[in-house]
Structure formats: C-alpha cells, structure tokens
Amino acid sequence: MEFRRPIAVRDIAHHAQAEIIGDASGMVTGMNEIHNVAPGDITFVDHEKYYKLVLASAASFIFINRKVDAPTGKTLLYTSDPFRAYNDLAIAQRPLLHTGASIAASAQIGEGTVIYPNAYVGEHVVIGSDCIIYPNVTIYAHSVIGDRVIIHGNSTIGGDAFYYKGRGTHYDKMHTVGRAVIHDDVEIGGGCTIDAGVSADTVVGKGTKLDSQVHIGHDSTIGMNCILCAQVGIAGNVRVGNNVTLYGKSALSKNISVGDRAVLLGSSASAKSLEGDKTYLGTPAEEVHRASRQFAIIKMLPNMWEKLRQL
C-alpha cells in the first residue's frame, strides 16, 4: 500500500511508542508485508526465524522486537509488539468504511455496465465499462474491476485477507489495506471468493476465466488467459503465470509459483513451485508421466505382497 503522502518515521515511532534505531530523519512512503516490500516501505518482523530475511529485504523501515544494529540504509523501530504497531498503522491509514447504500456514492461505474439488484458495491470501488455484475455479488471497498468483466451471483471480491496472529488464548486479526484488482475480460463464476491483499494487491490477469466456487487467497497473482475450474483453491502469496490451467478441486499452497502454460490436473495439490510447460498430477503433484507410473506401482502392491507371503 502506498501512502497518500509520505509520513515522517519519527511520527510513526511516536504513535507506536517505538524506539528508533538508525536514521530518524527518513520519510515512509508505504507499508507492505515482507513478500511485497519496496524501498520506502515499512514492514514488521516478530519471529527470530525471519529476522535475516526481513533485515535483508527491500524495506527501508522495520518494526522489530529485538534490538539489533540497523543495516545500511534501513531504520529499525524497536517495540515489544511489532504486529500490533504495524496493524495500528494500517488502521490509521485505511480505516473501515461504512455505507448504507447498495452502491456507494464514491464508487465509479463505467458506461454500459449493468449491476443487478441485490449486488453490493463498496466505497471507492472502480468498475470499468460494459461489465455485468449479477445479483448478490459483493465488491468490497477499494476493489478495481476492469472492462467487460462478468461476475456471477454470490461471488465476493476484495474480502479481508485471512491473516491472524495467535496470542495463545485468541487470535488478533490483521487489518486489510490491500485491494483486489480484476483486469479486463475476466469472467468469475458463481460463489467465488477473491480476497484482497494484506497490504498489496490480489490480481487476476486479463482474459482469465474462473469456474464456480474458486478461491484466491490474499496477495496472489493470477496471470493472463488462465483457466481455473470448479473448486480450485489458491492460498496466499501465490504467483500463477500466463495460460495456466488448474482443473477442478486442485490446490496450491502459499508462497509458491506456477510457470506459464503449466497444467495441474483435477484433485491434485502442490506445496512447491511448479515449472511451466508441464502437466502435473497427484498429491503432492508430480509430472504426469512420473505420477502415473507411481499410481500403477501402488495398484500392484497387494499382489506383490501376496506373492511375498507365499515364499
């Protein structure tokens, strides 16, 4: 998320009651989770496992719960609870918006777009030209919809990121400040859910088609001209290339990528990145020829076991 205007790091530290380590004169231009940071951004880290990763990232400013030397070009904000400090900043920059109207007054609707009854369009939503928004579609605040997009009934665009911090007896919710961005010529089937990014964008590329009951998690990017069949599930921060086909009930775990023109066959799942121009099958997904051979061997095991028992 890019701020509307830069904020002095001194002011952020003051409100968070954080101690500055390093240059205290910097200006913060945005905030992002570690996977999407850019120079000028502020992020947070509160687990030793990720200190090295975050300190070496592109972020210029970091909430951290350990006193360490600030790397060159970075400013650290020491606080006992970086998650809460970051979350409070997110809430301050993009507070929750409330409207009683079905289509918010601040929404921008392009020429030729049809919005059916019982659809909801939130604050600062942008919808392009010649779109069709069917009944019971919900489009959350700040979402962006391109031209000639079709969204079928009961789909939800831009819902909150599924992001929580466990506190032992409860979970603290991360305030969502990212967006859902749907490019031109996309069609979204009935009952789909596309979450907004935590602090960046969840993106569906031009010409991509979603069947019914597809879920796309926060901060994921789907390329152009992809086909996502029914009940596909994509976790957070996944990068799917162009012209990818994901068949029904297939699933992708968080923080992985799928190369251009890859095919994941039905009911398959992967927790690792997949190369492009290949077809995959199974759980965990393997190239289809290797997976088919494995399945064939598994089917042979009962007979092999009986023969072994008779020896």
- Catalytic sites, residue numbers: 218
Q: Is 117 exposed, middle or buried (0-12, 13-18, 19+ CB in 10 A)?
A: exposed
Closest CA to 61 of 111, 118, 125, 12: 12
Q: Which residues contact 284 (CB under 8 A, 6 or more apart)?
A: 269, 270, 271, 272
What is the bridge-based pairing of β-strands 279-281 and 286-287? antiparallel
Closest CA to 287 of 266, 263, 271, 251: 263
Non-local (6+) Cβ contacts of 96 within 8 A are none
What tokens were used for 269? 């799942």
DSSP state of 103: B
Q: Which residues, in sequence order, are bridge partners of residue 103?
A: 121
